[in-house]
Amino acid sequence: MMASRFVPRVLNQTRGYASQAAIRPPIQIEGLAGKYATAAYVSALTKSEKDLSKVESDLKYFHDVLKSDSPDAVKLRSFLTNPTVPAQTRTSTISELLSKQKGGADELTTNLFNTLSQNGRLGLSEKVIEGFLQLTSAHRGEVIITITSAKPLEKSISSRLESALKTSQFATTGGAKSVKFDYKVNSSLQGGVTVDLGDRSVDLSVANRVNKLNALLRDSI
């Protein structure tokens, strides 16, 4: 419900575009973060492709800072997850960070973070950004395959994986124009990989095999 408040707020800027056909997101992003991401996507594209690209650039910049080990990133992560930090302080910190982006931040980007802050949802920022980037990739006809491993993969292994996946039914279903890969590390997998594309997933991890073995042993007792 709170996410729905974002739509009219940002669309106040775009009343001149009311005659345009309703914009439908290319894919469905689930959850509350998905609602914020979709609202931001629709609002940006309602204005123009240029605005969509600018908001995407802003959010990529924010995401890169968030994932880095810089002092800004440490401070940012603390602010996003600490409910005792006043909303005004969070908002000003984020605005200061976004101002460092080349050309400054788009007004829609600023409104998105202001809304997340006011609704106490800044902790969802990373998921909101990831959802938005999924939407813009789908808008361009791209698919993003996420490969998660227990430790960073060697280049030779990742190259073989990418070559196999690009031509597989897993990636080509739906007529994608291009395939991109996003690598993540999760030590709890113990070994092997998981491959995710939208709501489809292939779990080839050691942890999954161990879980299946444990289930088999329990069922046989």
Residues 47 and 93 in one domain: yes
Token pair, residue 52, equals 């969509």
pLDDT value at position 40? Answer: 95
Residues 50 and 83 in one domain: yes
Tell me the residue range of the domain where 160 lies.
142-220
Domain count for the chain, please give it: 2
Residues 129 and 147 in one domain: no
pLDDT value at position 98? Answer: 85
Residues 96 and 196 in one domain: no
Q: 152: alpha, beta or left, given left = phi > 0 and alpha = psi -120 to 50?
A: beta
Q: Which of 87, 115, 138 is the last residue of a domain?
A: 138
Residues 206 and 184 in one domain: yes
Q: Which of 138, 167, 185 is the last residue of a domain?
A: 138
pLDDT value at position 54? Answer: 95
CATH assignment of the domain containing 58: 1.10.520.20
Residues 149 and 101 in one domain: no
pLDDT tens over the chain, length 221 residues: 555 555 545 444 434 444 345 788 888 888 999 999 999 999 999 999 999 999 999 999 998 888 887 777 787 788 787 878 887 888 888 888 888 877 888 999 999 999 998 888 988 999 999 999 989 988 988 878 888 998 898 999 889 888 888 877 766 665 667 888 888 888 888 888 888 876 678 888 877 777 776 776 677 65
Residues 167 and 203 in one domain: yes
Residues 107 and 17 in one domain: yes
Residues 13 and 112 in one domain: yes
Residues 32 and 94 in one domain: yes
